[in-house]
Structure 1
């Protein structure tokens, strides 16, 4: 067996050039379908607090039939903001499952952002009422922006958006980005904004409940993005019991997502809706919740797609990697 090999490096610039939202949306369908069919495996998640104030995690898995194996090392470093850098950091490594040799090292920040936005859009198209016209979003950061961008792309009837910020002040860059795409308004009263909206998206650091349970009216759909670590939450006590709950992974939701606050709450995996293991009939009065904790399979299928595109287009940098 030859000992010389190449390790392909795809930096943030390469990823940005290769990433296409529509293809990522289709990749999310594939990831959740594989998970439902148990053709893709998700290994136990590592998620730990660091002495530096950051949070470090590893999400890993494989798709045996595709010869795909890898992991994402990622986390949240809030102090990065003080030096003008993004607090979310992620790196993905694809590995040859036959030899253990590293094949491709990829900047994971954009992948994480876009695949989460695409997963949110998939949740909306499957679970929200098709006639939904109004949306309330908590947060104006990177993830809030991608969630709203995908929501407007895949739910074209949305024309009114209310947004809330941590400090209660308008976000001018956010308004410049989205003000021309919808009737955008800054809201200070969380309960009023929620009760006036068909769809609610929570994309915050998850430090605690964002609104009261009474604010959620019948027929509302909620995408929950921020709860991805033990102790984090965005939803109020008791809401899950009033709702039809959907997750990317039941066990992971109960461990690090909104499900950790009500482990007895029944939940359906979104992949089972895609594969028709679960026949979804949505009553107009149903409150639906999609708890998004993020699966390794989402990262792996997008990373595989980028690797194939990079090889076809001759992008990235190769390093000799003897083994």
Structure 2
């Protein structure tokens, strides 16, 4: 018997209309809570370099108790810049875990941006000193901007935001994107030409670049500094200087994944604690004034899936999205 089911498509603009920063923060927190409890599964990551110069990956997993199953196919295509497009591309699929039939296809670019920014925000809440006033951001792209937005949103004591660009010059687009948020919170925004000096003057450092090599020197990192490391997400990539992880308290999204494709691939034997373990009380962390902390943010499938499940629920309730016949 033919089953006349429909497949829901949610495009970029519809994701924008259905999802707020607070939604992303709540769903991402739930993803790490599920991970910490072992209630959510993360399957092995596929991450492969392409002959075109791009990188293609698949992150998948599920939450049996919540009927969530799916994956995100995503990667980085640097040639897209020449086409006027975003190098990062992502698509999310959710499935019915009982039948294997697809339920929903979601443009994953906005989801990836927000859930990664939200994870960075959670890292700042957990690891950075609450009285931190000086932030340094490496990178000026979409992810650097969302990391800065969450930092400004969640760290009310911030009073200065320095940014380091890849070409060493001020970036008008970055300043236009972040400037209003910074001004609204009384936070001075400035380009930093000397990256080591910017790190040495900062309480919090966020690295959100393509991650081809260390961005600053080890000696620039002062006691008490927290680092959110976002860019290293593939074998061979890194943003942090050699020796920093050994000096730091190390935290990760997922230990296996961090040792395979994150900053932790360069220090695989170091002990680390997952964010989920902290959120569920399975582990504890009491920051000391001189602690250097690093949050190695490789991103896990559960982040994408909890946000995608929320989008599916909202689109179903509101009638948003496009439905196409998908009989079986």
- Give the TM-score category using the shorter length: over 0.9
Distance 2:93 2:261 in 1: 23
Unmatched 5+ stretches in structure 1: none
After superposition, give the CA deviation of every residue in 1:193-225 in whole Å (9 maximum; x if it has no partner): 000000000000000000011100000000000
Match of 2:218 among 201, 213, 220: 213
Q: How much does 1:2 deviate?
A: 5.6
For residue 233 of structure 1, what is the aligned residue in structure 2? Answer: 238
SS of the residue corresponding to residue 14 of structure 1 reads helix
SS of the residue corresponding to residue 251 of structure 2 reads strand
Match of 1:200 among 198, 205, 210: 205
After superposition, give the CA deviation of every residue in 1:72-125 in whole Å (9 maximum; x if it has no partner): 000000000001000000000001111110000000000000000000000000
With the length of structure 1 as denominator, give the TM-score of the two structures: 0.99
Change (3 A) 1:135 1:72: same
For residue 289 of structure 1, what is the aligned residue in structure 2? Answer: 294
Distance 1:230 1:297 in 2: 21
* 2:280 is the alignment partner of 1:300: no
Aligned pair count reads: 323
With the length of structure 2 as denominator, give the TM-score of the two structures: 0.97
SS of the residue corresponding to residue 270 of structure 2 reads coil
Match of 1:321 among 311, 321, 326: 326
Unmatched 5+ stretches in structure 2: none
After superposition, give the CA deviation of every residue in 1:171-207 in whole Å (9 maximum; x if it has no partner): 0121222234220111111110000000000000000
For residue 242 of structure 1, what is the aligned residue in structure 2? Answer: 247
* 2:91 is the alignment partner of 1:91: yes
Moved over 6 A (4+): none
Distance 1:110 1:199 in 2: 25
Distance 2:52 2:294 in 1: 33
After superposition, give the CA deviation of every residue in 1:9-67 in whole Å (9 maximum; x if it has no partner): 00001101001111110111110010011100000000001111110000000100011
For residue 38 of structure 2, what is the aligned residue in structure 1? Answer: 38
For residue 153 of structure 1, what is the aligned residue in structure 2? Answer: 153
**Structure 1 residues 122-131 or 171-180, which shifts more?**
171-180
Distance 2:287 2:66 in 1: 34
Distance 1:3 1:311 in 2: 19
For residue 133 of structure 1, what is the aligned residue in structure 2? Answer: 133
For residue 257 of structure 1, what is the aligned residue in structure 2? Answer: 262
SS of the residue corresponding to residue 298 of structure 2 reads coil
SS of the residue corresponding to residue 219 of structure 1 reads coil
SS of the residue corresponding to residue 7 of structure 1 reads strand
Q: How much does 1:263 deviate?
A: 0.5
Q: How much does 1:128 deviate?
A: 0.3
**RMSD of aligned residue pairs (Cα, Å):** 0.8
SS of the residue corresponding to residue 121 of structure 2 reads helix
